[in-house]
Every structure is written in C-alpha cells, then in structure tokens.
Amino acid sequence: VNLILITADERDERGEVVLADRRAEHLRSVLKIRPGQSLRIGQINGATGTGMVKAVDEHRVVLRCVFSGPPAQRPPVDLLLALPRPKVMKRLWAPLAALGVGRIILTNAQRVERYYFDSHVLDPAFYNAQLQTGLEQAMDTWLPAVSVHRQFKPLVEEELAGLVPDALRLVGDPAGPTRIAAELQATPQPRILLGVGPEGGWSDYELDLLQAHGFRRVGMGPRTLRTDTACIALIALCLDALP
C-alpha cells in the first residue's frame, strides 16, 4: 500500500478520519506507524494529500487529513470488455485500476458463458475493494466506473455513445491490420475506448457491429493471449500512444 484511500464521508468537520478496518491494521502491523508521522492519503475520486497520525491504539488509527494535491483525473482510456471467466476477472480488477482506466464496461458476447454473470466477482462490494487495492498500489484516486451489460447489441447501438462520448474507438483483434499508435496518429483524439473480446474472439456478427459503430481493428501480433494479459498489454499501448 503506497497510499491510504478514504471516502469523502469518512472525514469529520475538523478534517479527521478514524480508521478501524484493514487500513488501520495495515498501518499498525505493516507500516508500524506512530503518532506524529505523516502518510500519503487520497480521497476516492478526489485529491491526494497528507494524513498526520494523531492517535494509534489497538482498535483504531486517527488521521488529520489535508488534501493539497490535484483532483482525481479520469484516465484517458475506457475499456469495453467481453466478460472473462470469473477466475480471470477476479485478478484483473486491481491491475486495471493500477494502470488507470476511466470506465470499465463489461458485456456479454457470443463466446461468453452465461454463468460468468452470476459470479461474486461482479458484486460491487467485491470489485470496489479490488479496484481500491490497485489504486493504493498506483497512488491514484480515480475509481473506475463499472457497468455490466447482458445484451451486446443495445449496448453498442444505444448505450455506448452516452457512456463514452468522444473517444477513438479501437477493438483488439489478433488479425487486426494496424497498430494503436498508427490509428491515433491518423485520427488524433484525447481519449480511447478500447474493446477487448472473449478468449475465443468476437463473433463475425459482433466484430461487424463494432466496426459499423466506429471501432477500428488494431492488432498486436498473431498470439492469442489470455484476457488479463491482453487487457494489460493493450491498455499500456493505448496509454503510451496518447499524448
């Protein structure tokens, strides 16, 4: 943990926060903090700052918080992801938040199994905790917005434009002809909406629908990668290509 995250409503009117959960435990047992020390803190979807340790006991840690850093910035990449199997999705949340993603749009697709949607990894309490782990690692405060869509067609045709306006739309495709940087050079945009398909790939119908709605196919060589590896690699390429 490189940053202690708090929410806006945890702060009282004097700017004090009382921690009594795993954060307090981590501060006591791992970081072995003492009164008077200062810690790097961040407010979820808010600014970063400094927390001065006012008191530590076996039940709680009291911090006096000053937020002097810049406000949270929405990372310039959003992700449209065909829901991977629960085991893969489980370990993908934290890296996505750590790399920095503005919005995570999970969708059904022909090669997504229905039962994936019943997994506890889609429970907001579960994924927000995982996302926060990634933010604590990367020292960021932007909690990605998450939405889950069981129907691909209305998502692409009707909802996507509202969720992510004004972004270069790219879809990863092992057979894709061009590179992310080349697409961005041809059509400069400040943001990218990146589509990543199921491990078996998008169906022809899905790829056609995406292309009909402005997505351009971008490749990363002929290798078939597991969804988590592909997401991390493609997001890294997007972030590197953006100004």
Contacts to a second copy by CB under 8 A: 2, 91, 94-95, 98-100, 137-140, 179-181, 220-226, 228-229, 232-237, 239-240
Shortest spacing between CB 184 and a second copy, in angstroms? 13
Cβ contacts of 56 within 8 Å, gap of 6 or more: 27, 28, 33, 34, 35, 62
Based on CB atoms, which residue is closest to a second copy, 51 or 100?
100
Q: Are 82 and 198 in contact (CB under 8 A)?
A: yes
Rounded Cα–Cα distance for residues 39 and 53 (Å): 8
- Sign of the C-alpha dihedral, residues 93, 96, 97, 99? positive
Nearer to a second copy, 60 or 90 (CB): 90
CA-closest candidate to residue 196, choices 98, 122, 88:
88
Structure tokens that stand for 118 in this block = 């019943």
Minimum distance from residue 189 beta carbon to a second copy (Å): 19
Smallest gap from Cβ 14 to a second copy, in A, equals: 31
From the CB of 2, what's the least distance to a second copy, in Å? Answer: 6
Comparing CB distances to a second copy, the nearer of 212 and 236 is 236
